[in-house]
Amino acid sequence: MKNFHYFNLLALGSIQGGRKGSMRGMRVAVLCWMTGSLLAGFVAGSRSVGAAPSNPVAIVAEPATQTKVAERQLANGMRVFVKTDRRAPVVVSMVWYGVGSVDEVNGRTGLAHVLEHMMFKGTHALPAGEFSKQVSQAGGRENAFTSRDYTAYHETIQSSQLALMLQLEADRMQNALIAPDEFAKEIKVIMEERRWRTDDKPRAQLHEQLMASALLAHPHRTPVVGWMNDLEHLRAEDARDFYSQWYAPNNALLVVVGDVSAQEGFALAEKAFGSIAAKTLPPRRPQEEPQQKGIRRIVFKAPAEQAMLLMAYRAPKIVDFEKDWEPYALDVLSSVLAGSDAARLNRELVRGTEVASAADASYDGLGRGPGFFYFSAIPSKNQNVKTVEAALRAQIKKIIDEGVSAQELQRIRTQVLASRVYERDAMMFQANQIGQMAILGLPIRAIEVMDERSHLITADQVREVAKKYLVDDALTVAELVPLPVTQPRNSKPPVGLRDEK
């Protein structure tokens, strides 16, 4: 599945500092250049943490091997996944925690993301900033991201430094300080991050409003970064309580991909994490969203240069990855509509009638919340949101009435195969695939099964899901009405903000 909805990164709806991936290939925006740039760093010296290289060096000379993922569970419940890839003396290490903004409560939104920041602010053994300093001195790169459903921390390093990285991660799993003075400084940075990424970005604000309207009860309705009023009132003890509740080996998993054997990876994981005691995790209650029974519309006004339209249809998510077929058909439908120059929205609305200057469609069917099928569009000059919405609806009706062609399906299958080969060539991407599957409770073999199931979707099935799910009773529409821009927008990130990815 191609990348999820059009403004996901800007809107911080799914991942704070990154981008949520999809079923087909899990295209998480996770710095796939990191593996290539790291080896150059071994020669040229370390770079600042989180900074993209100006001239990344490719180190992959041949396609990634199809080495199987080895899996083991430690006595304390922590799961460990190791995939050997010997093409370079590099490993990617990721620690995933099964906690995200979905686990927050009203009045404390943004807490999962705040805690992610605080995990870099010192332990009993290391002062604030020392974690990143040690990674850099070891020739590595590190970062983290928070999503609605999980939080992940990752390092890309020389394989000889893997033991050190795991020791550092094990230390902050159990010994994070979350000191009041560091919290007071960092929460200001996070509030500025919200202003910079969301409050000063009309597109991000519109998406935030869309999700708050599309969902009435489910916590996925709140932004990962949190509401500003909640951030203003969070305290260090809130973060400490959240940390104490959820950061435990039995709520975490380790993924290691690269120049390491399964036996060595398991041994290092046992040495670093094996002595950490499991915890009794808070019980999770069912969080079912009430059925939508009619179209919802919102109009949002903000200083902006262009009008904008977002549409979100409630749609099924994957429950049984081997038996379900509708999520895969919705995924293929999104590729029929968008994702390439040959896709319908670009061909018909952007280049054809020129009713839109940009148009996209995507499907989000993974995670602990409801699934959605999204449309987004920016009207062309002398066009308006109503015209664009009518054009999008006409494309939906055309698929329902006429279906899709064999040529379109073949194009999509070819694109999927090509992207799968390309994306899985990167160690970071492999680690993200494995981690996201595992943290969402899916077996690793689901990666291949999902690709295979998408490949088998027929034109009739695509037509059927369009008819069944792209209906007004499941639709939320958000319109951005542009107001005059009276002040220049700040294009620079706030001082002290890590380039989270």
Catalytically annotated residues: 116
Q: Is 99 exposed, middle or buried (0-12, 13-18, 19+ CB in 10 A)?
A: buried
**What phi-psi label fits residue 477: left (phi over 0), alpha (psi between -120 and 50 degrees) or beta?**
beta
Instruction: Give me the residue label for tokens 């199931």.
Output: 453
In Å, what is the CA distance from 164 to each residue of 76, 102, 111? 21, 32, 28
Question: Token pair for residue 221?
Answer: 């309705």
- Report d(CA 501, CA 101) in Å as an integer: 17
- Round to whole Å and give the CA distance between 151 and 251: 11
Quick one: which of 140, 143, 142, 144 has its CA closest to 89? 140
Identity at 256, one-letter amino acid code: V
Continuous segment of H or E residues that includes residue 447: helix 446-455
| Residue 322 to residue 318: CA distance in whole angstroms | 9
Query: 97 forms bridges with which residues in the sheet?
Result: 151, 252
CB 139 within 8 A of CB 157: yes
Q: How far apart are CA 158 and CA 140, in angstroms?
A: 7
